Every structure is written in C-alpha cells, then in structure tokens.
Amino acid sequence: MKKPVDPKRQLALLKRIISPVIVPANDHRRADAVLQAWANNIFRYYDIDPMSPDRWERVFWFLASRAFPDFRLIQSAPVGRQKATAKKAELLSEFEGYRTRKRGSKYKHFLADHAAVCGGAGVKTIPGLKSAILKARRERKIDQSPLELFLARMSLRGLSDPG
C-alpha cells in the first residue's frame, strides 16, 4: 500500500520548485546541477522516483492530462459507411443512457422507443437487442486503447493532484 503524501513535504518541495536560483555567469557545471535538482524536486513533488527510467514519461502524462483535459486519442477517423461494430457501440451507449417510466421489460420499451438506432444496428427483436448489447459490452472491454489503460494505471498509482 502506498504511503500518504506528507503536506509539509509537498509545500517544502513546491517552495523549492518555484524559488529562483541565481547562478554565476559561465558556471555551466553549477547551472546543470541546479537544473537537475529542480527536475528531481518536480518528480518528488508528483511522487515519482527521480531515478525511475520512465520518470519523464510519467511526469509528461501527468502534466499533459492537466494542461489539456479534453485530449482524446482517436485510433482511426471514420471513413465511409459505419461498421456494424460501431453501430452496436452506439446502440449500447443509447441503451445505457435510456430510462423508462413504464413498467415491463426495458429491452421491449427501448426497442419501441429507439427503432431507428436499433434498425441501424440490424436489431429487430428483443433477443437480437440483448445479443447486440452483450456483444458491444464485450468489444468495449477488448477495445480499450493502450493510452486509456496507461492513464488508468497512473491514476491508480496515486498520481493525484497534490494541491
């Protein structure tokens, strides 16, 4: 289990990160050391091991997701006629958001209320609707992009906003 982040430590690191450092002109060795210490403080602030081989990638994804929250990775642009798989995914999305006040089968009411979406996915019966939804759910689990999985792992590792 990951130990909790100490707020006093975070504040001390933040002060070191935002404080300017004056380096004598032409002292490249000292300037390099200051930059390395600054980067290491940033890694520690985000609870990333400064010696980890993937430290730059981890800090990049952390900062990029905060700087560009609407960024999404699209695997391919839709061209031509929509595939049956995409239509079934659309059907699943509609079905998951569907709320009925009527009594009885949700599948039956959905089929009646969303005939165009069902017809587009090739669904005409209640068993066909159940089958299409089940298949779309399975494919959604399989088709998760590697980026989504990476970001989920990073958020589980505790890369939360320290502020």
Tell which wins on pLDDT, 35 or 159.
35
Predicted model pTM: 0.42
CA distances from 99 to 2, 102, 110 (A): 40, 9, 9
d(CA 94, CA 7): 44
- For the chain, give every domain's residue range: 1-20+27-68, 84-142
Asked whether 116 and 150 are in contact (CB, 8 A), the reply is no
pLDDT digits (tens, 9 = 90+) for 104-141: 888 888 888 888 888 888 888 989 888 888 888 877 76
Is the predicted pLDDT of residue 160 greater than 50, yes or no? no
Asked whether 72 and 84 are in contact (CB, 8 A), the reply is no
Is the predicted pLDDT of residue 148 greater than 70, yes or no? no
User: Tell me, what's the pLDDT at 1?
Assistant: 47
User: Tell me, what's the pLDDT at 163?
Assistant: 43
DSSP 19: S
User: Tell me, what's the pLDDT at 159?
Assistant: 46
pLDDT digits (tens, 9 = 90+) for 1-18: 456 668 888 888 888 888
d(CA 5, CA 159): 11
pLDDT digits (tens, 9 = 90+) for 63-119: 887 788 777 666 655 555 556 677 888 888 888 888 877 788 888 888 888 888 888
Q: How confident is the model at residue 51 (pLDDT cuts 50, 70, 90)?
A: very high
Is the predicted pLDDT of residue 54 greater than 60, yes or no? yes
